[in-house]
Amino acid sequence: MSKYAPSLTQAHQAFLSNLFPDDGCVLSPEGLAAFSADASGERAMPWAVVRPETREQVQELLKWADAEHMPIYGRARGTGRVGSAVPSLGGVVVSMLRMNRILDVNEDDFVAVVQPGVVTADLQAASAAKQLFYPPDPASVKISTIGGNIATCAGGLKAVKYGVTRDWVLGIEAVLPGGRVLHMGGRSHKDVVGLDLKRLFAGSNGTLGLFTELTVKLIPLPEASASVLVGFSDLASSMEGAKAVFRAGVLPAACEFMDGPTIQAIRMGDDIPLADSADAALLLMVDGTQKGVDAEVRRMVAALDSVHPVSVEVGSGLEAEALWDVRRSISPSSFRIKPDKMAEDISVPRGSVGQAVAAAHDIGREHGLQVLCFGHLGDGNIHVSIMHDGSVQSEVDSAHLAKDAVFRMALSLGGTISGEHGTGLTKASFVNEQLSVDELQLMADIRHVFDPNGIMNPGKGL
């Protein structure tokens, strides 16, 4: 027998409707459907959705849920790629979109204090208005929230220079199952007292508690940036190009990579400012003061010259936007090859990226499928898209086999099955191939301390 509540009783419904009046509680099937899936396409219908507007409501909810053994799934915009927001065991989805106020952007402390439902790009814009900068920028930055970003420890294009979301979290206020409020960290940029619980919560995927207030670190807004799109005749040259840039002493804010099949997919529908002979490409960005950016671009271009690129395009402002349009067009372009894809995001030691990409291509060939590799070369995080036709069962089967092979390849190179997407539902079965029995047991024990009844986002790998 399941340890969870088997359904939502009338008493449960009455409690939720009372705590979240008017449109704050959703019980209709058509209303619930919107909360059944995320960007992974995985799906399970929740029993109810609630929309808290205050911390006190969250406390009451988690006190009740713990007593009733009711599964609880925190959710913001549902843009995750692995099904972490999907209510796979039924229960109550907690939509945080109405806790969306920016409480403080402070030029003296260099911090921002926000509620979890704030869209990350809105936080960046509010910071930029005061010449401050919140650097983490997952591809979903305009549509995802800071709460979701911290819950998943979102990465992004600029992780090579600025790190991932966890590196910018100074303080977290979270409500635990049972209704206890935990304040972790604060506005201090340094803090070594005790265990760093806030970093544990960053990337915990809603398994420890629900965020109600978040404090993040800010830095001065860079005054200038410039981007360089570099074409290479083959994969190996592009890897040498990246090495040359780093060896020249330049730390780019972004260092993106595209393989030949990715470039071909873009060319099927868009113009691309790369030489026709380019079969791999790097897209680099530097930021800082105007003089510093100019100097770094000169040094980068000189360093790249030693590895004989087939084309080099430098741009700032609107010209740079045109270069980044190429990067942004990858995902929609990939569907020109096949209607469906398995999008994995392995990460390997940076020096092994070339080997990983070549191995991913080999795996694709072995399974009769086209594999595209692109992504964040600067931190070894490569997106591997296994293209297939979901209506052809043999291709679906091959894609699953190819996915497993890609994961094993990443592990064999000392890497990880996920650099930023997480494991959620889609990779849950593979987690124990990466983590040891001891690690898994310790993680389960830690979760048990915060959530003894296991109500927080159950049914996922971690």
**Which residues sit at the interface with another protein, rule CB under 8 A?**
23, 26, 28-31, 33-35, 37-41, 51, 75, 77-79, 95, 97-98, 100, 117, 119, 121, 140, 142-144, 331-332, 335
Using CA atoms, how far residue 303 sits from 226, 249, 253, 353, 440, in Å, is: 16, 10, 17, 20, 44
Closest CA to 373 of 381, 362, 384, 364: 384
Output the smallest distance, CB 29 to another protein, in A: 5
Q: Which two tokens stand for residue 201?
A: 């919560």
Output the smallest distance, CB 281 to another protein, in A: 21
Residue 194 burial (C-beta neighbours within 10 Å; 0-12, 13-18, 19+): exposed
Closest CA to 252 of 283, 273, 281, 275: 283
Rounded distance between C-alpha atoms, residue 378 and residue 260, angstroms? 18
Nearer to another protein, 183 or 328 (CB): 328
Nearer to another protein, 87 or 378 (CB): 87
Output the smallest distance, CB 397 to another protein, in A: 21
Rounded distance between C-alpha atoms, residue 108 and residue 66, angstroms? 40
Nearer to another protein, 14 or 33 (CB): 33
Nearer to another protein, 34 or 251 (CB): 34
Output the smallest distance, CB 41 to another protein, in A: 6
Nearer to another protein, 31 or 368 (CB): 31
Nearer to another protein, 130 or 142 (CB): 142
Output the smallest distance, CB 387 to another protein, in A: 13
Q: Which two tokens stand for residue 418?
A: 């996920």
The number of beta carbons lying within 10 Å of the beta carbon of residue 279 is 21
Torsion, Cα of 24, 451, 170, 252 (10° steps): -90
Output the smallest distance, CB 317 to another protein, in A: 19
Output the smallest distance, CB 153 to another protein, in A: 19
Nearer to another protein, 13 or 331 (CB): 331
Q: 241, 309 in Cβ contact below 8 A?
A: yes
Output the smallest distance, CB 139 to another protein, in A: 10
Nearer to another protein, 38 or 66 (CB): 38
> In the block, which residue shows the tokens 């291709």?
395
- Give Cα 355 to chain centroid, integer Å: 24
Rounded distance between C-alpha atoms, residue 437 and residue 11, angstroms? 41
Rounded distance between C-alpha atoms, residue 280 and residue 230, angstroms? 9
Nearer to another protein, 30 or 438 (CB): 30
Rounded distance between C-alpha atoms, residue 237 and residue 231, angstroms? 9
Nearer to another protein, 34 or 128 (CB): 34
> In the block, which residue shows the tokens 């897209």?
283
Nearer to another protein, 102 or 121 (CB): 121
Rounded distance between C-alpha atoms, residue 343 and residue 427, angstroms? 11
Q: Which two tokens stand for residue 97?
A: 């979109």
Output the smallest distance, CB 177 to another protein, in A: 24
Output the smallest distance, CB 65 to another protein, in A: 20
Output the smallest distance, CB 180 to another protein, in A: 26
Q: How far apart are the first and last CA of the chain?
A: 22
Rounded distance between C-alpha atoms, residue 124 and residue 165, angstroms? 13
* Burial 262-278, CB ≥16 within 10 A → b, else e: bbbbbeeeeebbbbeeb
φ, ψ dihedrals at 203, nearest 5°: 95, 10
